[in-house]
């Protein structure tokens, strides 16, 4: 199996790539993880210019010698290239497996909207730099190479459709050409490094959007590294999600084992049985 890593968002590092290569050699020796040279470009905040990031994504996606596209990391930047890059994808792209989360959610959303069948929310190469990050990389590779059931978020239900997103990213793609139809889906959400008031506001935006009121329900992953609120916000992430779900008639279905951490489990988009 050949996996191409591209970086449509923020800067990536050689060090993270070396760690991933070493882990892959040990746990999935039959897998080749190819880091596109674009991963190591830098342009301001980003892993290269918009053009360079889009071109690398399109090149790797349309190359039939790769079986999967693995997004290097999140941060910010994929919404700047997503719509135009996805329009350039050909048949070889459609057959591939795609994996990422956080800012990569803009791309997963657009791909899901376009009918791509093998998409998942889960660990990315940059997670190799986290405490305990080796387990995240092993989990991602186990899913990419072998569809290991142990890699999956444990609450996924056979026969149900799922999708997973960062809360801010989901809010920012609603109403845009990247928004997928999530009617009937169990929606798993998570957040990192935001003030609780901003998460509350983003959840108003999501829950008050008619399309989101057609999901089967919401499960809440980890909301971590919450920025200080002065005065204290006084409500936990679970209280906030329950509030907005109740307010707009969305079923709250409990916690989810996803988040910006090494324990982040894999959530395939769509019917669980289809992967």
Given the complex with its own copies, which of 34 and 243 has the nearer CB atom?
Answer: 243
CB 274, min distance to its own copies, A: 29
Contact between 114 and its own copies per CB under 8 A: no
CB 133, min distance to its own copies, A: 21
Report how far residue 67's alpha carbon sits from residue 95's, in angstroms, rounded to the nearest whole number: 8
Query: How many Cα atoms sit within 13 Å of 242 on the Cβ side?
Result: 7
**191-210: contacts with its own copies (CB under 8 A):** 197-198, 200-202, 204-205, 208-210
Strand order in the sheet with 97-100: 32-35, 2-6, 68-71, 97-100, 119-121, 267-268
Contact between 69 and its own copies per CB under 8 A: no
Q: How many chain residues touch its own copies (CB under 8 A)?
A: 36
Given the complex with its own copies, which of 1 and 226 has the nearer CB atom?
Answer: 226
61: nearest Cα among 31, 107, 92, 101:
92
Report how far residue 22's alpha carbon sits from residue 82's, in angstroms, rounded to the nearest whole number: 30
Element spanning 119, H or E = strand 119-121
Task: Pick from 80, 88, 94, 147 the residue near its own copies by CB under 8 A.
Answer: 80
* Number of other CB atoms surrounding residue 22 within 10 Å: 13
DSSP letters of 42-55?
-BTTBSS-HHHHHH
- Count how many residues are written for the chain: 275
Report how far residue 19's alpha carbon sits from residue 7's, in angstroms, rounded to the nearest whole number: 16
Angle at which helices 133-146 and 14-27 pack, to 10 degrees? 60
Task: Pick from 59, 76, 114, 242 the residue near its own copies by CB under 8 A.
Answer: 76
Contact between 49 and its own copies per CB under 8 A: no
CB 57, min distance to its own copies, A: 17
Contact between 11 and its own copies per CB under 8 A: yes
Contact between 140 and its own copies per CB under 8 A: no
Report how far residue 177's alpha carbon sits from residue 81's, in angstroms, rounded to the nearest whole number: 12
Given the complex with its own copies, which of 47 and 145 has the nearer CB atom?
Answer: 47
Contact region with its own copies (CB under 8 A), list: 23-31, 54-62, 130-138, 174-182: 174-182
Contact region with its own copies (CB under 8 A), list: 22-30, 127-135, 146-154, 170-178: 170-178
Contact between 41 and its own copies per CB under 8 A: no
Task: Pick from 2, 26, 45, 214 the residue near its own copies by CB under 8 A.
Answer: 45
Contact between 236 and its own copies per CB under 8 A: no
Given the complex with its own copies, which of 76 and 252 has the nearer CB atom?
Answer: 76
Angle at which helices 196-207 and 237-247 pack, to 10 degrees? 20
Contact between 228 and its own copies per CB under 8 A: no
154: nearest Cα among 258, 274, 241:
258
Q: Which residues bind its own copies (CB under 8 A)?
A: 11, 42-45, 76-77, 79-80, 83, 168, 171-178, 197-198, 200-202, 204-205, 208-211, 229, 231-235
């Amino acid at each position: 199996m050949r996996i191409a890593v591209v970086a449509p968002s923020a800067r990536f590092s050689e060090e993270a790539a070396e760690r991933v290569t070493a882990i892959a050699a040990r746990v999935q020796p039959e897998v080749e993880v190819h880091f596109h040279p674009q991963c190591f470009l830098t342009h301001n905040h980003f892993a290269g210019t918009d053009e360079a990031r889009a071109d690398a994504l399109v090149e790797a996606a349309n190359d039939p010698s790769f079986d999967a596209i693995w997004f290097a990391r999140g941060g910010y930047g994929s919404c700047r290239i997503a719509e135009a890059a996805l329009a350039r994808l050909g048949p070889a792209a459609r057959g591939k497996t795609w994996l990422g989360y956080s800012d990569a959610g803009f791309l997963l959303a657009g791909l899901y909207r376009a009918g791509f069948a093998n998409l998942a929310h889960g660990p990315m190469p940059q997670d190799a730099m986290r405490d305990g990050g080796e387990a995240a990389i092993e989990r991602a590779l186990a899913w990419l190479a072998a569809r290991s059931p142990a890699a999956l978020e444990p609450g996924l239900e056979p026969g149900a459709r799922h999708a997973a997103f960062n809360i801010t990213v989901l809010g920012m793609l609603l109403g845009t050409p990247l928004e997928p139809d999530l009617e009937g889906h169990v929606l798993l959400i998570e957040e990192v490094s935001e003030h609780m008031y901003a998460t509350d506001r983003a959840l108003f935006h999501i829950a008050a959007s008619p399309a989101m009121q057609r999901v089967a329900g919401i499960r809440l992953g980890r909301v971590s590294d919450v920025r200080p609120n002065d005065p204290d916000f006084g409500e936990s992430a679970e209280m906030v999600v329950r509030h907005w779900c109740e307010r707009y008639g969305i079923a709250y279905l409990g916690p989810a084992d996803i988040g910006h951490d090494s324990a982040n489990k894999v959530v395939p988009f769509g019917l669980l049985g289809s992967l």
